[in-house]
Amino acid sequence: MTASAPVGATSPGRGHLRIHFTADDLARIRIANGADPMWESVLSMHLLQTQRGARVFSGWRKESRSRLGSSALPLLAINPAVGSFPDFLTPSVGTTDLEAGVDAMLSAPRRRIRAELDALSAVPSMRPWMRAVADTELDAMTELGRLFRSYFTTAISPIWDTVVAQVEAERRRMAQTFLAGGPEEVLTRVSSDSSWCPPVLEISYPVDRDLYLDGRGILIIPSYFCWRDVVTLIDPALPPVLVYPLRTPFTASGRPVRHGGDDRELSALLGFTRATVLRALETPCTTSDLGRRAGTSVTSASQHTAVLRRSGLITTTRHGGAVVHSLTALGAALLRASGA
């Protein structure tokens, strides 16, 4: 069966993923160029079908379900939240461009698509359409592409700037980790319970599995919508990838997740709104997202970021057409000291 990691497995049956490296593999570790719209879409569909990550994704889930209605049902039928899901939905091209990803998905070999869909169980009403996709019938494949683009536009586009900003911030942290500790340190960062015992990286996983890289290296993809477990492709013949969840808490819509502390001392120091703005930057975001998180106008958010930037608490960088704000080490230390 060619399908992706069984992300729906429950804890009693948990095992470990053991990734076997050679010296060539360590030299060929790559970090994704940015947020991957195919992986983010596919993994978000799992969250849409479940109540996982309620503290983080409940607002996004409610809004997306309302906007999508029944239009996403065919996609969800071929991308179940429990068990394995087809590899061809997440092409190994590792692209940040939706159209390139959709084209690669639709161009997967017929034999592979059929094998991966045959491994799934489907509700009777969806079986004829799934069979048409498995047979790569032109109308069915055209509809699959349309559904995928429509899903991205409806459920992902409204928060895509935030997704891009947070993944980019994680890529910067990974780059710093590499400079400080080399590839081995990067590998141990992908999971809080990973262990590196050369030449094997072992990570908690829904099932027991060994992945041999055999000199091909591995593409590491930080993901906004990846929840709890790392994900990798099942088919050992495909280029190896390892998708891992961002560690920083956030909400897909609304304010960042809090772990405690009421920020009274921080508010006394900075003022209530400015303290709220600083707290909202526990995860990097654009000015418009920051205004929404902090419950203030974009103009007000921009004014407060200017003050916080001059104080050395945040930094502002341009990513594509967006201006993204993030905490400096001093800003993060101040939040920790305030009891977060």
Rounded-to-integer distance, Cα 69 and Cα 73, Å: 9
Mean pLDDT of the chain: 86
The candidate with the shortest Cα–Cα distance to 149, out of 95, 101, 183, is 101
Here the tokens at position 288 are: 């418009």
Residues 230 and 201 in one domain: yes
Does 1 map to a domain? no
Does 272 map to a domain? yes
Residues in contact with 139: Cβ distance below 8 Å, sequence separation at least 6, in sequence order:
132
- SS3 assignment, position 57: helix
* 11, pLDDT greater than 50: no
**Structural domain range at position 129:** 37-159
Q: How confident is the model over 38-91, as pLDDT tens digits?
A: 999 999 999 999 988 877 788 889 899 999 999 999 999 999 998 889 999 999
Does 251 map to a domain? no
Amino acid residing at 4 = S
Q: How confident is the model over 219-257, as pLDDT tens digits?
A: 999 999 998 889 999 899 999 999 999 865 455 544 444
What is the per-residue pLDDT for 339?
56
Does 257 map to a domain? no
Does 258 map to a domain? no
Task: Centre a 10 Å sphere on the Cβ of residue 55 and count the other Cβ atoms it contains.
Answer: 9
Q: Which residue has the higher pLDDT, 265 or 298?
A: 298
Residues 49 and 150 in one domain: yes
What is the per-residue pLDDT for 263?
64
The whole-model pTM stands at 0.75
E-strand ranges in the chain read 15-20, 29-31, 195-197, 200-205, 209-212, 218-223, 241-245, 285-286, 314-319, 322-327
Please give the average per-residue pLDDT across 175-197, as a whole number: 89
The candidate with the shortest Cα–Cα distance to 314, out of 304, 150, 138, 322, is 304
Q: Across the beta sheet with 322-327, what order do the strands follow?
A: 285-286, 322-327, 314-319
* 189, pLDDT greater than 90: no
From 106, 125, 159, the end of a domain falls on 159
Please state the domain count of the chain: 3
Residues 116 and 146 in one domain: yes
Is the sign of the CA dihedral 168, 85, 240, 198 positive or negative? positive
Rounded-to-integer distance, Cα 295 and Cα 254, Å: 9
Residues 319 and 271 in one domain: yes
Residues 152 and 69 in one domain: yes
Residues 302 and 202 in one domain: no
Does 152 map to a domain? yes
Does 279 map to a domain? yes
Q: Output the CA–CA distances (angstroms, integers) from residue 7 to 12, 38, 123, 296, 297, in the order listed.
A: 14, 17, 20, 37, 39
- Residue 30 phi/psi, 5-degree rounding, is -130, 145
